[in-house]
Amino acid sequence: MNAQAQTAPILSARGLRHSFGSTEALRGIDVDIHPGEVLAVMGPSGSGKSTLLHCLAGVITPDAGSVTYQPGPAVGQSVTISSLNEAGRSRLRLTEFGFVFQFGQLLPELSALDNVTIPLLLNGTRRKDALQRSAELLDRLGLQDNGTKRPSELSGGQAQRVAVARALATAPKILFADEPTGSLDSLAAENVLTQMLQLVREAGTTLVMITHDPRTAAYADREILVRDGAVAAGYQVAP
């Protein structure tokens, strides 16, 4: 259909199943995510969207099925996330992925700038470089005057932009976002979203974004619909 359909997926899930106690959150999900695409994940509350995202990103290991990460075209470069141990997944999340959630992700006692530098310091970037990259990102997101503020001194929209800066600081290959603008009003949501998308598209980052909001999803290249732990008919991977 388009160029993306011809390249190998950067992330590919097959037969994902996962339960919490007696709740079957995922009942056999196949998904392919192509490099550089912006994918919206939609579906009713409780349908399994967050669980799916957590499996894809190696936050949890699914009960069954596989998640394969293929960062580049080279053969032998692919990683089966679903069979890594906790340490391996944690490394992958730090070096390859970025995360943005609806709220509560910034450390309250640190300034906006320090919040953004943390993932860089964790992955071994020199402090001076980390600060410079963080300041640049805050700048790009229109937060140049807010670097010294703590999260409690920021508006919801500003805090989300700091979260976006933090998630993108390490130049992740894939950004996972779970309702990134879910707590904002229409205009603030739109501003955060368009700024995030601009950075993401510029860097060629792949974005997987859960959203309830059709207008947010409309910024994506395509969407999938999750229903009762499965991908709805019409949104499935072609066999």
By CB under 6 A, residue 214 contacts ligand ATP: no
CA atoms within 13 A on the CB side of 214: 0
Of the pair 141, 230, the CB lying nearest ligand ATP is at 230
Six-digit token string for 180? 């990134």
Three-state SS across the chain?
CCHHHHCCCCEEEEEEEEEECCEEEEEEEEEEECCCCEEEEECCCCCCHHHHHHHHCCCCCCCEEEEEECCCCCCCCCEEHHHCCHHHHHHHHHHHEEEECCCCCCCCCCCHHHHHHHHHHHCCCCHHHHHHHHHHHHHHCCCCCCCCCCHHHCCHHHHHHHHHHHHHCCCCCEEEEECCCCCCCHHHHHHHHHHHHHHHHHHCCEEEEECCCHHHHCCCCEEEEEECCEECCCCCCCC
| Shorter beta-carbon distance to another protein: residue 142 or 214 | 214
91: contact with another protein by CB under 8 A: no
Give which of Mg ion, another protein, ligand ATP, none residue 25 binds (C-beta under 5 to 8 Å, depending on kind).
ligand ATP
Per rule CB under 6 A, is residue 211 in the interface with ligand ATP?
Answer: no
Which region among 44-52, 144-152, 167-175, 223-231 touches Mg ion (by CB under 5 A)?
44-52
When asked if residue 91 is in the footprint of ligand ATP (CB under 6 A), the reply is no
**Tokens read off for 67:** 């998640």
Q: Which CB atom, from 138 or from 224, has the smaller least distance to another protein?
A: 224
Minimum distance from residue 239 beta carbon to another protein (Å) = 19
Strand partners, 23: 20
How far is residue 105's CA from residue 149's CA, in Å, rounded to a whole number? 15
Among 47, 50, 117, 206, binds Mg ion (CB under 5 A): 50
- Show the binding pattern over residues 23-62: x = contacts another protein (CB under 8 A), - = does not: ---------------------x------------------
Q: Which is nearer to ligand ATP, 70 or 102 (CB)?
A: 102
Are 231 and 26 spatial neighbours (Cβ–Cβ below 8 Å)?
A: no
Q: Point out which span in 44-52, 133-141, 144-152, 183-191 binds ligand ATP (CB under 6 A).
A: 44-52
Q: Does 228 bind another protein (CB under 8 A)?
A: no
Q: Is 233 in the site for another protein (CB under 8 A)?
A: yes
Residue of the chain from 47, 115, 181, 206 that contacts ligand ATP (CB under 6 A): 47
| 219 lies in the site for another protein, by CB under 8 A | yes
By CB under 6 A, residue 64 contacts ligand ATP: no
Per CB under 8 A, residues contacting another protein are: 44, 214-215, 217-220, 223, 225, 232-234
